[in-house]
Amino acid sequence: MDFKFTDAQLMLQKVAREFAENEVGPIAAEIDATGRFPRETFDKMVKIGFTGIGTPVEYGGSGGNDIDKVIVVSEIAKKCGATAAILSIHTIFAQVIQKFGNEEQKQKYLPQVTSGGCLGAFALTEPNAGSDAAAAKTTAILDGDEYVLNGTKCFISGGGQAQHLLIFALTDPSKGLKGLSCILVEKGTPGFTIGKIEEKMGIHGSETVELIFDNCRVPKENLVGKEGKGFMMAMTALDGARIGVAAQALGIAEGALEESVKYMKERVQFGKPLTALQGLTWYISDMATKIEAARWLVYYAAHLKATGQNHNKEAAMAKINAAETARFVTNLALQIHGGYGYMKDYPLERMYRDAKITEIYEGTSEIHKLVISRAVLG
């Protein structure tokens, strides 16, 4: 099996790496400190075509596939986990519309979120329905030619900045999960407001908010797919999203390793560079080995998705492994940096905080263990 990049992918990697170094890295500490959404960076990602990766050119996209997404997201994550999260999560909207939307929805919304500068969001989680989607309470009841939405979504990444949001709500509450559907809601629709803006441990530049629907009326043509198919659509989207989170985790780990190698070559203790201390070189060995294993899992999952093969188990494996690798590597990287690593003058403490979320969102590690064990046990 060969995961060798094509010439086009090698060029994409070079462009993404230079973009991360020149545009993302220089403001990473500032957006972490202030928690502001890096609009200027997002607009540049639109201009360069990153927001359109995976969407056909005829819908305003840049073409390419999930391997291309992994390349870009991981390169950006080396410099800023928050910016990588913004891009990765944003692409879920286009993924859902492209796979399940009708032609009119594709023509209307895909160009806006791929090359038009509009941010998209995906809203499934509720206060009492995180991993347990069956506990969802938000409703979207058809009234004439409109759906009337009532309920609350929480922990929605990019929800406050998004112009277009995919809301998973019960169109028939009596059917439970079989009554869950996907409704597209545009920003500014009466009855739709942004609630609490969360203060998080990490990825501060990626805004996380509460969404409130109070008799919010949207046209019935905003139904994406068919009524009652929302759970299947959400799980399909999450399989792809988990590969994106895995790419984010991989990039954070790679960035932490690069920082550690640089520091060990420059830092002198007891008259010798840190590279002469065997204990620390073993740390580097462990970090590099785990990253290489994670990289293969991530790209294999992306390969399966890009070629239309089942990737449910592999996406879960890639996500849980890459997330654990990111936490492991950033912890050792911070240890290598010692007291300096604990200070905000260095990026390690930010990477350490940013890494943790990859074990939680788009499905906790525990949920992924269930996905994997069920697939193996049959």
Q: Which residues are catalytic?
A: 362
Tokens of 92: 């879920």
SS3 196: strand
**Residues 225, 95 contacting (CB under 8 angstroms):** no
Q: How many Å from the N-terminal Cα to the C-terminal Cα in the chain?
A: 26
187 neighbors 216 (Cβ within 8 angstroms):
no
DSSP state at residue 185: E
Instruction: Note whether 50 and 225 are within 8 A (CB).
Output: no
DSSP-H helix ranges across the chain: 7-19, 25-34, 39-48, 66-77, 81-100, 103-114, 230-266, 278-306, 312-341, 348-356, 365-377
Residue 368 in tokens: 């992924």
Instruction: Please state the φ and ψ torsions of residue 289, each to the nearest 5 degrees.
Output: -65, -45
